[in-house]
Amino acid sequence: MQRTPLDRLILAQDGVVRRDQLAGLAISRDTVRANLRADRWVRRSSTVVTTFTGTPTAIQQQWIAVLHGGPDALLGGLAAASAAGLKNWAREEIPVYIPADGGPARPAPDFARYIRTRRDLRSLRAGRPGVPRLRLEPAVLLWAANQSSPSTIRGALSACVQQRLTDPAQLLDWIDRLAPLARSPLMRDTLEMITGGAHSNAEMNLKRLCQRFGLQPPVRQTKRRDAHGHVRFTDAEWRTADGRTVVLEIDGAFHMEVEHWEADMARARALSSPLVNVLQCTAEEAGESAELAADLVRLGVPRAA
């Protein structure tokens, strides 16, 4: 059976439609009211209805939020980045960018946050099917511009590059295109570190620590066989003047869980020997701790030339 224009719209938008879209397809207000009264459709906001009656999925909530924002509204922030493929950075918040001279009708869905902007949203839109959204680069950069934590900003940018969703050159180009942009010096510094080979937040923090305290940059991801014969790759290593090796293992937040913590302790013991000193620190310590730098110097880590 051939699909009608309404069928195609419902399919393309996961069962979520705006009233003016229905009017554009010559669906009368009386028809809309009849479907609502018969509980075939559900009113989700003052301007949006769904052609299903169950609880909306996360994607359907995004459709509701964006469609309620008007024809130029775009999904933004980490929600847009997740839609572009970014993994492990999902948030429940649904940020929606709308033109500064427009605005959603009231009342708006309580799960959406509308952000007015004077930027040309059409130039920032991703040309992909699905929920209308910002492209990955402006979505992440505009989100990062409003973050207070440098570590969070660095982590998000490095994740985008690590997951091969973009590269430092494209992100730097978008920083220029979005200027003026808050936090841009930090973002540029982060992208320069990534270009120089530091791909994780921990690696960038350690690079900053070495620069700040004048330590020689370490050798990263060294292949080493432990006391049990297992092959390990260490986070950072230095060779001291007397021929010993200092190994630094950097633990992320999930390593604080008991099972990971115990495994890390066992790993450190297995890597240690009379000629190999293994230290551990958190990702935050790797970038800020004067005490960690002093410990490294005490163990013989050489100063930068």
Cα–Cα–Cα angle for 136, 159, 185, nearest 5°? 75
Q: Count structural domains, the chain.
A: 2
The pLDDT value given to residue 263: 66
Predicted pLDDT of residue 77:
98
E strands in 6-77: 16-18, 42-43, 48-50, 74-75
Residues 182 and 236 in one domain: no
Which pLDDT belongs to residue 199? 66
Confidence of residue 252 (pLDDT cuts 50, 70, 90): low
Instruction: Show which of 173, 195, 217 is a domain's final residue.
Output: 195
Longest dimension (CA), the chain: 87
Residues 103 and 221 in one domain: no
Higher pLDDT, 285 or 166: 166
Q: Is residue 225 within 8 Å of residue 231, measured between CB atoms?
A: yes
Residue 3 within any structural domain of the chain: no
Residues 244 and 186 in one domain: no
**SS3 (DSSP) at 219:** strand
Q: Which residue, among 124, 147, 9, 144, has the nearest Cα to 67 in the 3D structure?
A: 9
For residues 77 and 177, membership in a common domain is answered with yes
Which has the closest alpha carbon to 83: 47, 46, 132, 119? 132
- What does 223-267 look like in DSSP terms, one character per residue? EEE-TTS-EEEEEEEEE-TTS-EEEEEEE-GGGGSHHHHHHHHHH
Both 113 and 134 in one domain: the answer is: yes
| Residue 254: DSSP 8-state | G
Percentage of residues in the chain with pLDDT exceeding 90? 66
Give the Cβ contact number of residue 102 at 10 Å.
13
> Where is the domain boundary, 143, 171, 195?
195
Q: pLDDT-based confidence at 265, cuts 50/70/90?
A: low
Residues 234 and 104 placed together within one structural domain of the fold: no
How far apart, in whole angstroms, are the C-alpha atoms of residue 76 and residue 194? Answer: 24
Indicate whether 108 and 154 sit together in one domain.
yes
Split at pLDDT 50, 70, 90, the class of 262 is low
Decide if pLDDT at 269 tops 80: no
Per the structure, the complete domain to which residue 111 belongs is given by: 54-195
Q: Are residues 136 and 234 in the same domain?
A: no
Whether residue 228 sits in one domain with residue 184:
no
Task: Tell me the β-bridge partners of 74.
Answer: 97
Instruction: Tell whether 76 and 182 lie within a shared domain.
Output: yes
Residue 45 covered by a domain: no
Question: What is the pTM (predicted TM-score) of this model?
Answer: 0.75
Who wins on pLDDT, 1 or 239?
Answer: 239
Do 114 and 70 lie in one domain? The reply is yes
Residue 4, pLDDT > 60, answer yes
| Domain contains 26 | no
10 Å CB burial of residue 294 (0-12, 13-18, 19+) is exposed
Distance, CA of 52 to CA of 65 (rounded, Å): 16
The amino acid present at 208, given as its one-letter code, is R
31 within domain boundaries = no
Q: Which residues, including other chains, have CB under 8 Å from residue 211's CB and lie 6 or more apart?
A: none
Task: Tell me the two tokens of residue 17.
Answer: 């439609």
